[in-house]
Amino acid sequence: MLGCMSLLSCGKLIYEEGGDCDESVMHVSLRVSAGGSAASRALTETEETGTGCENFIDVKKLHILFFDKDNNKFLQSFKPEQVSPKDNSEYPDEWVLRGTIQNPPKTGFKIVALANWPSDSLANWPSEYLEVEKTTIEDVCNADWAMGEYKAPFTPSKDTPIPMYGVLTTEDEITFDPKVEAYLGQIDLLRAFAKITVCLSEGSTVQLDSVTLSNYNKRFACAPPLGMYGNTVNSELNSALHLANNSDPADGPLDFAPSTDKKSWTIYVPEYLNADKDGKARKDCSYIELKVNGIDRPYRIDFRDYGENGNNPDDGQRFNIVRNFEYRYEVTITPILFTVTVEKWTSVKVPIELDGGGY
């Protein structure tokens, strides 16, 4: 109880005269969440929030930075004195941070959370790269140390968590009661990778031998597109990308990881530019190949709109692979019919006769 009371004493953002409290110190709490309601998590009717290690946050690699609301310039770092998960699950997707900040701004500010970033191996990171009233949020998002090397095949785990980024903007002044800890709000995090899943639907009578992705990026940017400096809750990423500096694409193929029964195959990859400025397919577009047991030729799925009835001809338009999106392909295969349900913008079925030989 005494430990809790020390955190709840004397927190002020708006300076008031009188009293015995140190007005340069503010006692605060905030939350960071990887399983929140970011609208870009999945483009399906029922939005998914991620499961297991997709939500894992390494609190030892969690950095909280305060920036000025108007010019996005760095003010100070926040080092919490207490970090607590919201529950006792193996992979909690939400954490509560408590502690103090010195000389807090009197009006609005922005709080940026950097989670699981690979540059944490650097000494004194990120403080050695941040200059008060000079470094901007854009500087952080676009810095060389904000880029990572994609190690394929990637599987999220406690040892290899997905890098995340989030921003919370406080617009107005907040009045603090000296007897109550100031709650600043929740920062919703966006994952640096996209998730792609291919699964067999009920009734499929054949098996998949392999699922692969061709064309992906070897490097990635930990932060979203430049310009995303406001609240990341319910952020609409659409098709905007933030590709890594000097990104060097790989041809592949990159194997999907199968489930135990081989009915579901999953991969996590960095963002990838499939479409030019007019939405047309670039030369080195990403595509998925399915190899069906007993069939010699592979079957190909592109990142495109197949139409509501699955019979739209290929008009050359492509979807980019965007961070924090989930692309889910439900495949039904019978001896005479190959059907794909693509849950992208709409749910569509694409019939292809097996004896047509794929492609």
| DSSP sequence for 95-140 | EEEEEEEES--SS-EEEEEEES-GGGGSTTTTGGG--TTT-BHHHH
Percentage of the chain lying above the pLDDT 90 cut: 37
> Burial level of 84, CB count in 10 A (0-12/13-18/19+)?
middle
Q: In whole angstroms, give the CA distance from residue 209 to residue 223.
A: 35
Q: In whole angstroms, give the CA distance from residue 166 to residue 185.
A: 12
Model pLDDT, residue 66: 93
SS3 53: helix
Topology, domain 194-215+251-356 = Immunoglobulin-like (2.60.40)
Least confident among 34-38, 58-62, 164-168, 193-197: 34-38
Model pLDDT, residue 30: 93
The whole-model pTM stands at 0.82
Q: Decide if 190 contacts 237 (C-beta within 8 A).
A: yes
Kind and range of the H or E element at 66?
A: strand 62-68
pLDDT digits (tens, 9 = 90+) for 209-218: 999 999 999 9
Mean pLDDT of all residues in 132-157? 92
Backbone angles phi, psi at 246, to 5 degrees: 55, 45
Least confident among 16-20, 131-135, 248-252: 16-20
In sequence order, the β-bridge partners of residue 266 are 197, 257
Of 62, 108, 337, nearest to 229 (Cα)?
108
CATH number of 2-191: 2.60.40.2580
Every domain of the chain with CATH number 2.60.40.2580 lies at 2-191
